[in-house]
Amino acid sequence: MSGPRIAVLDYGIGNLRSAEKALQHVGADARLVTRPESVEAADAVVLPGVGAFGACARALTDSGLEEPARAALGAGVPFFGVCVGFQLLYADSVESPGASGLGVFAGTVEALPAGVKHPQMQWNTLELACRDGEPPVALRGLGERPWVYFVHSFAPPVGDETVAVCDYGGPVAAMAAQGSLWGAQFHPEKSGATGLAILSNFVEMAVAGARA
């Protein structure tokens, strides 16, 4: 398969085939990887995650993929954290006291606001943080209020890195981007044409990085 080599980190946290297949659908040579050398050889990395923050953090460490993931982040390799994989980009989470994330972004993952159903398990719209009149690179071509699919009870704080929020009892961080590092609380692979467009934007960034 042609296209940029994208390593989908398989650290034993669930069925990752849908993410792999969605990336392949938009032109990537995406593979589930379990070996550090496969991460090191990749043009881009995707860190998925389902379940509890602490369990995912432990599994990432125990799999031997945490250090390759940190190395990719340090080298500026295009990197996309999805759902709990997004939360792992932060320091820690109230869901799992004592467990540590990768700490790339500052802050603690918090529970969704009181007064709304936990988990948020539904389609919801994104409110884009446009700067200088332009949408974030990750969300280009999606229109003003794209719909995406969420399944979660916790979310990172809204910070300078946040490029989109959803309204769920108040603004909830839905996507972050800082250069070649992206994170999404929703599931792009389950979000229809919008999700595929976001993954396509990521693949395009990976192509540009591979050619640089």
Residue 208 confidence (pLDDT): 86
Residue 209 confidence (pLDDT): 73
Q: What mean pLDDT comes out for the span 165-189?
A: 97
Share of the chain above pLDDT 90, in %: 90
Catalytic residue chosen out of the listed positions 20, 66, 161, 189: 189
Catalytic residue chosen out of the listed positions 20, 83, 152, 161: 83
| CATH, residue 147 | 3.40.50.880
Residue 189 appears among annotated catalytic residues: yes
Residue 130 confidence (pLDDT): 75
DSSP string, 41-67: T-SEEEE---S-HHHHHHHHHHTT-HH
Q: Which residues pair with 166 in a beta bridge?
A: 172
Q: In degrees, to the nearest 5, what angle opens at C-alpha 180 toward C-alphas 123 and 75?
A: 135
Residue 56 appears among annotated catalytic residues: no
Q: What mean pLDDT comes out for the span 1-9?
A: 89
DSSP string, 170-211: SEEEEEEEETTEEEESS-GGGSHHHHHHHHHHHHHHHHHHHH
Residue 1 confidence (pLDDT): 53
Q: Is 25 exposed, middle or buried (0-12, 13-18, 19+ CB in 10 A)?
A: middle
How far, in Å, CA of 189 to CA of 167, rounded?
Answer: 21
How far, in Å, CA of 196 to CA of 184, rounded?
Answer: 13
SS3 at position 164? strand
Catalytic residue chosen out of the listed positions 20, 66, 152, 187: 187
Q: What is the mean pLDDT of the chain?
A: 95
How far, in Å, CA of 126 to CA of 85, rounded?
Answer: 19
**Residue 54 lies in domain:** 5-211
| 10 has a pLDDT exceeding 90 | yes
Residue 144 appears among annotated catalytic residues: no
Total of domains in the chain: 1
